[in-house]
Amino acid sequence: MKVTVNDEAVELDEQTTVAGLLETLGIPDKGIAVAVDWTVLPRSQWELPLADGAKVEVVTAVQGG
């Protein structure tokens, strides 16, 4: 299946979870938040499988303000 992560297309195995996606992309799970289809996903739901076509946003703190 195909999802987008921060507007970049990513090909994944079926039933890939958010946690699996982060691991695949080498993104550390500390200090980040994940939104799927514009809804912030609590960490307790990171083991749920992503749907084909899901739009995933991974956000962290940066310098600013």
Partner 1 sequence: MADQKLTIAGRSFGSRLIMGTGGAANLAVLEAALVASGTELTTVALRRIDTTGGTGVLDLLSRLGITPLPNTAGCRSAAEAVLTAQVAREALHTDWIQRARRSSRSCVALTYFQRGGCCLTCRSESCTSSPTKNSTWLLACCLG
Q: Site residues (CB under 8 A) for partner 1? A: 6, 25-28, 30-35, 38, 40-43, 57-65
Rounded to whole angstroms, the Cα distance separating 54 from 6 reads 11
Whichever of 14 and 28 has its CB closer to partner 1, that residue is 28
Whichever of 15 and 60 has its CB closer to partner 1, that residue is 60
* Nearest approach, Cβ of residue 39 and partner 1 (Å): 9
Distance (Å) of CA 40 to CA 13, 16, 55: 22, 18, 12
* Nearest approach, Cβ of residue 53 and partner 1 (Å): 19
Which stretch of DSSP H or E encloses residue 34? strand 32-36
